[in-house]
Amino acid sequence: AQSVSQHNHHVILSEAASLELGCNYSYGGTVNLFWYVQYPGQHLQLLLKYFSGDPLVKGIKGFEAEFIKSKFSFNLRKPSVQWSDTAEYFCAALRWSNQGGKLIFGQGTELSVKP
Amino acid sequence: NAGVTQTPKFQVLKTGQSMTLQCAQDMNHEYMSWYRQDPGMGLRLIHYSVGAGITDQGEVPNGYNVSRSTTEDFPLRLLSAAPSQTSVYFCASSFALAGEQYFGPGTRLTVT
């Protein structure tokens, strides 16, 4: 079973629209959560991460995410998207184990922003 | 720093052939991992390593071997290529397990 689920496979928005991408993880215990972005033709890069403390995490380029433990969710948000935000977005969760840990990614959400 | 480098960038194999995908990093990172990226499947972890001499299986390890003899290098070996292994392969490294992953440019592999 997929440990990290992203509900939206493809999202299409107009510039200045608000964005929310869903992410749920399916296991308990200590969890570290991440959002990565892959712009067309580029490497994956880190947008933001949650380890502990304030559940509202701010990242680069105006993105933020909220960790809601009771809902096992870590949704990504941006108040006003730009054409340059067109990319694929991946949620990831670090599962700790006796051998260290595994960083598990979701299926990804492709975001297309129309100018 | 070159960061994370991967070779080759493209490769075509016939079913049953073997090959090694190379990954190297010059950031002295302890943690390295291999992922495959397939449409609609996201990135799936193949194998990972928390340091030289230590490796472990990820989500989809079958058909792949790894070793970690040095901190810098983490090659991925395909033992007998199958069409189901057609994919884009990414290597990543990080200073700490919970740290930011730095990804290589990827290897696009086609198995016919």
Whether residue B96 lies within 8 A of chain A, CB to CB, comes out as no
> Inter-chain contact A105–B105, Cβ cutoff 8 Å?
no
Question: Is A101 a residue whose pLDDT tops 80?
Answer: no
Q: What is the pLDDT of residues A47-72, one digit of tens each?
A: 999 988 999 999 999 999 999 999 99
Question: Is A2 a residue whose pLDDT tops 60?
Answer: no
Q: How far apart are CA B53 and CA B69, in angstroms?
A: 6
Q: How is B51-77 classified by DSSP, letter by letter?
A: ETTEEEE-S--TTEEE--SSSSB--EE
Whether residue B35 lies within 8 A of chain A, CB to CB, comes out as yes
What does the radius of gyration of chain A's CA atoms come to, in whole angstroms?
14
Q: What is the pLDDT of residues B39-76, one digit of tens each?
A: 888 899 999 999 999 999 999 999 999 999 999 999 99
**A30 vs B112, higher pLDDT:** B112
The reported pLDDT for the residue numbered A99 is 65
Chain A: nearest CA to B34, how far in angstroms?
11
The reported pLDDT for the residue numbered B2 is 79
Using CA coordinates, name the residue in chain A closest to B41: A107
**Chain A residues within 8 A of B43 when measuring between CB atoms:** 44, 90, 92, 105, 108
Residue A49 CA: distances (Å) to CA of B12, B18, B34? 36, 37, 20
> Inter-chain contact A100–B48, Cβ cutoff 8 Å?
yes
